[in-house]
Amino acid sequence: MSTATGRRYSWLIPGVVGAAPAGAWLLGVDLVHALVIGIGIAVVVVVARTVDTTRDPGWERAPEPGRDGTRGELSTLSWTMVGRDGRAGERALRRVRAVGAGRLARLGLDLADPLDADAIHGLLGARAWTVLTVSSGRNPSLADVEHAVARLERLDPAGPAPETAAHRFPRRTT
């Protein structure tokens, strides 16, 4: 409320509290009862002005710490696995491709490098290769994604590196 509006209505409360007993007295109520009516109206006006009628929002919920593998994460992943057409969802495909790229990187292969394409294709097979690389057109079926995940799980990063990755230069760590 602005100060001009506040000044305009500042006389309203005392005016109503004073006018009510005066009006009651003019209508024939004796003076004591008219003053009691005025005091009652004053109490009602003061209480009405001080009571906050807005709803209490309550305590804010404390943010939950992020825990990998929790029920919420599992639920989110399961809801995003299936797209609208019954095929694999885009979010799930992005996650599978990221995990696949990381898994192949442990073997010294890069999913984005065309020179490693034959080696990756030989390790995973055509079906898993398609899931990991083809990003246009229709999404793969859930069975195809499951097959690709199974093939990625069978890769042994501790085993010998594939022979077809010999074109890579040794990486410097410094």
Express each pLDDT in 35-47 by its tens digit: 898 888 888 877 8
Q: Taking residues 49-77, what's their average pLDDT?
A: 71
Amino acid at 6: G
99 and 41 share one domain: no
Whether residue 105 lies inside any domain: the answer is yes
Do residue 110 and residue 158 come from a single domain? yes
Is residue 20 assigned to a domain?
Answer: yes
pLDDT at residue 160 above 70? no
Cα→Cα distances 76→48, 56, 81, 143, Å: 48, 32, 9, 19
Give the Cα separation of 27 and 32 in Å (integer). 14
Does residue 38 share a domain with residue 105? no
> What percent of the chain has pLDDT above 70?
75
The token duo for 110 is: 């890069």
- Residue 61 is encoded by which pair of tokens? 């919920």
Question: Burial letters for 155-164: b for 16+ Cβ neighbours within 10 Å, e otherwise?
Answer: beeeeeebeb
Q: Are residues 92 and 42 in the same domain?
A: no
Question: What are the pLDDT digits (tens) for 96-146?
Answer: 888 888 888 888 888 888 898 899 888 899 999 988 888 777 888 888 888
pLDDT at 55: 80
Residue 3 lies in a domain: no
Q: What pLDDT score does 7 carry? A: 57
Within-domain flag for 75: no
Per the structure block, which two tokens stand in for 140? 């793969």
Is residue 67 one of the residues assigned to a domain?
Answer: no
Q: With a cut of 80, say whether residue 34 has pLDDT above it.
A: yes
Name residue 65's amino acid. P
Specify the number of domains making up the chain: 2
Answer yes or no: is 141 within a domain. Answer: yes
Q: Residues, the chain, total?
A: 174
Residue 171 predicted with pLDDT over 80: no
Alpha-carbon span 46 to 50, nearest angstrom: 6
Residue 40 lies in a domain: yes
pTM above 0.75, yes or no: no
Residue 71 lies in a domain: no
Residue 15 belongs to domain spanning: 10-49
pLDDT at 166: 47
Is residue 9 classed as helix, strand or coil in its secondary structure? helix
What tokens were used for 138? 């229709």
**Domain identity same for 41 and 97:** no
